[in-house]
Structure 1
Amino acid sequence: MNQDDFMIPRNLDAPPLMFMWEADSAAIYILFVFLGALMQMFLFGIFCAVVVGRAYARLKEEGGKGLLMKIIYWYTPSTWLTQRHPSHIREFYGE
């Protein structure tokens, strides 16, 4: 093993990268471009990749970690995820 075989992140909270982009954002772009190419609609795939990728980046900036679970918890019926109070009552309890 060589010491140069390892990459040390700049800080502990550094996200995993794919080349110079964050891995999750890059995966969204690649997926939509690939699906567009498979359906022989390459330009539509690029358009969808840009729209969905930017929406995901904005959502990620605003909400932080666990935002999707928070949205599911607050805006779905309580019997889907948990056996607690319905969402309109949870608001009063602060749960």
Structure 2
Amino acid sequence: MKSLTQNNQPNKQRQIIFPSSIAEIRVSYFSKISDTDRPKVTSSQDAHEIFRARWKKSRIGYVEEFKAMLLNRANGVPSISPWVELPAVWLILR
């Protein structure tokens, strides 16, 4: 961005003039997996089965984890986000 000076004089203090409006920004997300191929949650049992399928079974007793299941408007599961992962030893020593 080119800065403009007040009165176009180089010896005076420069004042930067910014435009008063910005262009619209649009962010979108497109998945490579179709909606029909995603698991769908219709009950708490479905959510439990989806979580268990994505958990590392060998680490369940050793690591304390918190995950969030994101749902779209059709109750499809676009992703499961890991948020916190703490060793079980840390929880005991705390």
Which range, TM-score by smaller chain?
under 0.3
The normalised TM-score by structure 1 is 0.24
Which has more radius of gyration?
2
TM-score under structure 2 normalisation?
0.24
Of Structure 1 and Structure 2, which has the larger fraction of its residues in strand? Answer: 2
